[in-house]
């Protein structure tokens, strides 16, 4: 029997190589980034208005009342304003509108006095000094070109997808989801809801399947191995070597009982990393093995649901994260 720290060291050493794949950004939730992802452009792409109001030149404003001629109107999504800017010009601008070259500050709409009146406005009246760069969202203030958006090995969340789509990044390279083949073991295991008192419901299979979307793997059910299915389990391990399966997980049949065949079957193969029994509770009988020369591993978890869940969390999950580079 080894300590948990020793077991984790073996797991770290035995990590498997997971290939990369390119997917749509919108499908990348909970995937692991295979590369550093950088912004390919500035965002915002130009200086724009943070408030509805009027753009003016700050140097034209004084403490005395001054008329500014309204020369146009700009909304978010409008093409850049091309008119030549003169002294005491103003342009109406909505939030998100690109600020025309020459203007350098925004007066919020709530502070505007129109002349002769709001309905027939031709001018606005400005009676105080307006500082430069008021209510301006600057080019690149959210993201600058070549900013690091997602670091390699990051688990992608919805906020990352928001940033990627904002920047026009439609495809990204991520780690492939490992394929896990899972077997429950024992004559007592049943997939039925109504069972006699000598049977146990197959809860471990459902528990691990429920984790596949959050824990970055594809779950494949191998069904239930009965107490006399030692030969079937051995056959599955042989298939593992040349299949697309990355990992086999079993629950049950890992202790020292008469029908606990998992350790003996696994030990009949050529292994490069192995442990059986860790000084923890629950989960002491947990088993791990890596097939020598192959990127394939096997975990044998205890059959007790609490022990099985604990071993998945403290052995399988860290192994997956390490192999994915997360």
For 106-144, the pLDDT digits (tens) are 999 999 999 999 999 999 999 999 999 999 999 999 999
CATH of 21-41+144-175, one of 3.10.180.10, 3.90.105.10, 2.10.109.10, 3.90.226.10: 3.90.105.10
pLDDT at 192: 85
Q: How big is the chain by its Cα radius of gyration, in Å? A: 32
pLDDT at 84: 92
Integer Cα distance of 98 and 272 in angstroms: 62
pLDDT at 257: 73
Average pLDDT in the 75-91 region? 94
Closest CA to 41 of 143, 190, 156: 143
Percentage above 70 pLDDT, the chain: 100
pLDDT at 4: 98
pLDDT at 152: 98
Asked if residue 215 has pLDDT above 90, the reply is no
Integer Cα distance of 27 and 145 in angstroms: 24
CATH of 48-137, one of 2.40.160.20, 2.30.130.10, 3.30.43.10, 2.170.190.11: 2.170.190.11
Asked if residue 277 has pLDDT above 80, the reply is yes
Q: Read off the tokens for 30.
A: 């909970």
188 confidence band (pLDDT: 50, 70, 90): confident
21-41+144-175 shares the fold of 4-19+177-324 = no
Domain boundaries, the chain: 4-19+177-324, 21-41+144-175, 48-137
DSSP state letters, 245-270: --EEEEES--SSSTT--HHHHHHTS-
Helix axis angle for 4-13 and 317-324, nearest 10°, is 30
pLDDT at 198: 80
What is the Cα 128 distance to its own chain's centre? 49
pLDDT at 65: 86
Instruction: Provide the mean pLDDT of the chain.
Output: 94
3-class DSSP state of 278: strand
pLDDT at 214: 82
Q: Read off the tokens for 160.
A: 């990352």
pLDDT at 125: 96
Please enumerate in sequence order all residues whose Cβ is within 8 A of that of 205, keeping only pairs 6 or more positions apart, or say none: 182, 184, 221, 251
Q: Assign domain 4-19+177-324 to its CATH superfamily.
A: MoaB/Mog-like domain (3.40.980.10)
Asked if residue 75 has pLDDT above 80, the reply is yes
Identify any residues that bridge with 180 across adjacent strands, giving them in sequence order: 219, 247
pLDDT at 307: 97
68 confidence band (pLDDT: 50, 70, 90): very high
Percentage above 90 pLDDT, the chain: 83
Please give the model's pTM, rounded to 2 decimal places: 0.86
Weakest-pLDDT range from 8-22, 187-201, 221-235, 288-302: 187-201
């Amino acid at each position: 029997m080894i300590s948990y720290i020793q077991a984790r060291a073996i797991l770290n050493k035995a990590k498997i190589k997971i290939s990369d794949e390119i997917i749509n950004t919108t499908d990348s939730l909970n995937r692991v980034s295979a590369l550093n992802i950088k912004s390919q452009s500035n965002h915002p792409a130009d200086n724009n208005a943070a408030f509805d109001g009027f753009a003016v030149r700050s140097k034209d404003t004084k403490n005395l009342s001054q008329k500014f001629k309204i020369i146009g109107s700009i909304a978010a999504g409008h093409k850049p304003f091309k008119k030549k800017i003169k002294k005491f010009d103003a342009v109406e601008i909505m939030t998100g509108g690109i600020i025309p070259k020459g203007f350098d500050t925004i007066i919020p709409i709530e502070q505007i006095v129109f002349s002769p009146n709001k309905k027939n406005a031709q001018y606005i009246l400005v009676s105080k000094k307006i500082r430069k760069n008021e209510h301006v969202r600057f080019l690149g203030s959210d993201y600058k070109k070549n900013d690091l958006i997602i670091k390699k090995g990051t688990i992608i969340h919805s906020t990352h997808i928001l940033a990627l789509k904002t920047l026009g990044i439609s495809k990204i390279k991520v780690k492939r989801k490992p394929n896990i083949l899972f077997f429950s073991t024992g004559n007592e295991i049943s997939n039925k809801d109504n069972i006699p008192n000598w049977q146990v419901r197959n809860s471990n299979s459902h528990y691990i399947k429920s984790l596949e979307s959050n824990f970055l793997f594809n779950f494949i059910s191998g069904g239930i191995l009965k107490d006399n299915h030692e030969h079937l389990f051995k056959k599955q391990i042989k298939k593992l070597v040349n299949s697309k399966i990355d990992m086999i997980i079993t629950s049950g049949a890992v202790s020292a009982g008469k029908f606990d065949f998992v350790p003996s079957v696994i030990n009949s193969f050529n292994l490069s990393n192995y442990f059986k029994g860790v000084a923890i509770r629950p989960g002491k009988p947990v088993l791990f093995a890596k097939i020598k020369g192959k990127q394939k591993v096997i975990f044998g978890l205890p059959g007790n649901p609490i022990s099985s869940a604990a071993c998945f969390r403290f052995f399988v999950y860290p192994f997956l994260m390490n192999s994915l580079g997360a």
